[in-house]
Amino acid sequence: MLERLAARCAEEPPARPLEVFAVDPYEAGAGRIWRTDQSPWFLMNTPAQEVTMFSGPADDGPHRPGAGPTLGEWWAEEDPAGAEPEGYAPRAVYGRYLTYVMARIEETLPPWLTVHRVPARVICADRAREGDGPDAGAHRLRLDRGDVLTVDRLVLATGHPLTELDAEQRAWQRFAKEHSTPARPVKYVAGGSASEMPLAEIPAGASVGILGMGLTFYDILTELTLGRGGTFTEGEEGLLYLPSGKEPRILAGSRGGVPLLTRGANQKGPEHRYRARLFTPERMAALRAGGAPLDFERTVLPWLLAEVNLVLLATRIRHAHGPEAAEEFTERGVALLDGRSDPRPRLLERLAAGHRIDARPLTGLDALARPFAGRRFGSSAEYHKVLTEWLRADRTPSGAAVPRASVPEAAGARARAASPVPHADAHRAAPATGPLARGAAPLPPGDAGQEAGRHLRRHGDADDHRPRRARDGDPAPPVQVTRGTGDPTDPTDSPPL
């Protein structure tokens, strides 16, 4: 907002001078989520080159509102040796970029715009009523430091809120309290930003149960492994995790029993916009025109899947036969489905089959989210084996060779540094047989082992088009910490999941 306001004010003076009060108890610019002092192991989930806070690209002039670098460009300039503009920047790096943007805005303000940083929390906001004198109609912001700020306009940009515990979380908290003893303390840590969790307090060898295996799971996992001095090295079968000995024992579970899938290496510029061909606003408006509420699964999801499959299959064709073949497939696919009421995946599959590629489309989201639904495993070891194969397949390109530069290195590795168990079955899980319990985790062979970089990436194969199953800022998983013996053969040493 501030960047755009400043850019517009620089172009054309406002009717009267403007004063902006930027109120935040955290660092101005970076704010709470992007604090610059957080662990370098917490990464963004958006490729650096796709992120910009400037509303226009940098030009020959100084960086200023309307013209400045993307995060990737800025990072490459700031840290030429370490930056990975196509990869995922640590959140602290993005915080430094935001601090830079804030500084550039302040340093280039036109004379009729003033910005005040107010390092405080607003604890109450209301509007002055008629009869409240000259302030009538103004917004009054009571600050935690005691004073009141009165302004004409108020923009709430408070981001992810800090919430109170809900009933389930309170139950976890109670559970931890009831089971905690001085010899074996149990602590419940509610979800939120991993940088705000007391992860450093978890002693080596303690048992940590993580509920949920989405983005925050990876934050916690890296912090408790690589952040504790663990490293990856090249092994016979691929990457090996070499523990430092300071790690806790990690048990992770999610409703689907699988971690978040690897991310497609599909980096784009900040200006990129995909324009839907089938799942269009016009089509949805037409479906809504009937007036009755839409059934998402029956009416909306098929078109969403059709769009995904159009891109998925066109990409496989592009990898195998080049852009022209892909373009032709896209146009024929759109023409084929456009007039239909039911865009079944089989139709695109048949069309793609003539191109000598893997023409299997995505047929639904459930199979991705719950790949083991309804399946039973005889033992934890059997489940581990199946899961490992599934994770390998997730990383294996289904189309043409993946360009070397875009091969994931440790994204798959991350998934293997813990021993995930399906949530519902967690109480039956045998002592961990996973990599941490063994001390070193063999990882799949191939290019993935080439580069155990400082910055783990959140992407997968160029051909992996599976949708993300968690959104930015999804509720983070709670962490439950139990202090155990650290002995994987000790049956009493499993967390009370």
Which one of the spans 28-36, 269-277, 399-407, 418-426 is the region binding ligand FAD (CB under 6 A)? Answer: 28-36
Q: From CA 310, how far away is CA 152, in angstroms rounded?
A: 49
**Amino acid letter, 238:** G
Q: Which of 39, 46, 99, 180 binds ligand FAD (CB under 6 A)?
A: 46
For the bound state, the minimum distance from the C-beta of residue 298 to ligand FAD, rounded and expressed in Å, comes to 31
Cα angle: 375, vertex 380, 381; to 5 degrees: 105
Number of H helices, E strands in the chain: 13, 12
How far is residue 77's CA from residue 80's CA, in Å, rounded to a whole number? Answer: 6
Helix ranges, 339-463 (H): 345-353, 366-369, 380-395, 410-416, 435-438
Q: Which is nearer to ligand FAD, 159 or 323 (CB)?
A: 159
Site string for ligand FAD, 96-125 (x = CB under 6 A): -------------------------xx---
Nearest to 480 by CA among 41, 161, 175, 167: 175
- In the complex with ligand FAD, the residue whose CB is nearer, 366 or 472, is 472
Q: In the complex, which residue's CB is closest to ligand FAD?
A: 159
* Binder among 31, 87, 191, 408 for ligand FAD (CB under 6 A): 31
In whole angstroms, give the CA distance from residue 443 to residue 416.
Answer: 7
114 Cβ contact partners less than 8 Å away, ≥ 6 residues apart: 17, 18, 19, 20
Rounded (10°) angle between helices 91-107 and 2-11: 30
Which span (43-51, 66-74, 200-208, 395-403) binds ligand FAD, by CB under 6 A? Answer: 43-51
Among 8, 10, 21, 26, binds ligand FAD (CB under 6 A): 26
Q: How far is the CB of 149 from ligand FAD (least distance, A)?
A: 11
Which H helix or E strand runs over 209? strand 207-211
| Distances in whole angstroms, Cα of residue 143 to Cα of each of 1, 72, 123, 140, 146 | 22, 36, 6, 10, 6
Q: Report, in Å, the least distance between residue 45 CB and ligand FAD.
A: 4
Instruction: For residue 454, give the amino acid letter.
Output: R
Query: Of 7, 20, 44, 48, which lies in the binding site for ligand FAD, with binding defined by CB under 6 A?
Result: 44
Q: Which residues contact 344 (CB under 8 A, 6 or more apart)?
A: 302
β-pairing, 113-118 with 18-23?
parallel
Q: Between residue 451 and residue 480, which ones bind ligand FAD under the rule CB under 6 A?
A: 472-473
Q: What is the identity of the amino acid at 332? A: R
Q: Does 149 bind ligand FAD (CB under 6 A)?
A: no
Q: Which residue has the tokens 């992407």?
A: 459
Identify the residue among 5, 10, 32, 287 touching ligand FAD (CB under 6 A): 32
The minimum distance between CB 147 and ligand FAD, in angstroms, equals 13
Residues 179-198 that bind ligand FAD (CB under 6 A): 193
- Under the binding rule (CB under 6 A), the answer on residue 35 touching ligand FAD is no
Question: Is there binding between residue 410 and ligand FAD (CB under 6 A)?
Answer: no
Q: How many residues form the binding site for ligand FAD (CB under 6 A)?
A: 19
Is residue 23 a contact point for ligand FAD (CB under 6 A)? Answer: yes
CA distances from 429 to 378, 385, 424, 434 (A): 11, 14, 10, 11
Q: Which of residues 201-260 bind ligand FAD (CB under 6 A)?
A: none
Q: Which of residues 105 and 497 has its CB atom nearest to ligand FAD in the complex?
A: 105
160 touches ligand FAD (CB under 6 A): yes
Q: In this complex, which beta carbon is closest to ligand FAD, that of residue 117 or of residue 184?
A: 117
Distances (CA, A) of 179 to 52, 190, 449, 484, 497: 47, 17, 42, 12, 12
CA distance 398 to 347: 20
21 binds ligand FAD (CB under 6 A): no
Closer residue to ligand FAD, CB minimum distance, 162 or 171: 162
Of residues 215 and 251, the one with the C-beta less far from ligand FAD: 215
Q: Which is nearer to ligand FAD, 157 or 381 (CB)?
A: 157
The reply to whether 311 sits near ligand FAD by the rule CB under 6 A is: no
CA atoms within 13 A on the CB side of 109: 18
Nearer Cβ to ligand FAD (116/428): 116
The site for ligand FAD (CB under 6 A) is made up of 23-26, 31-33, 44-46, 121-122, 157-160, 193, 472-473
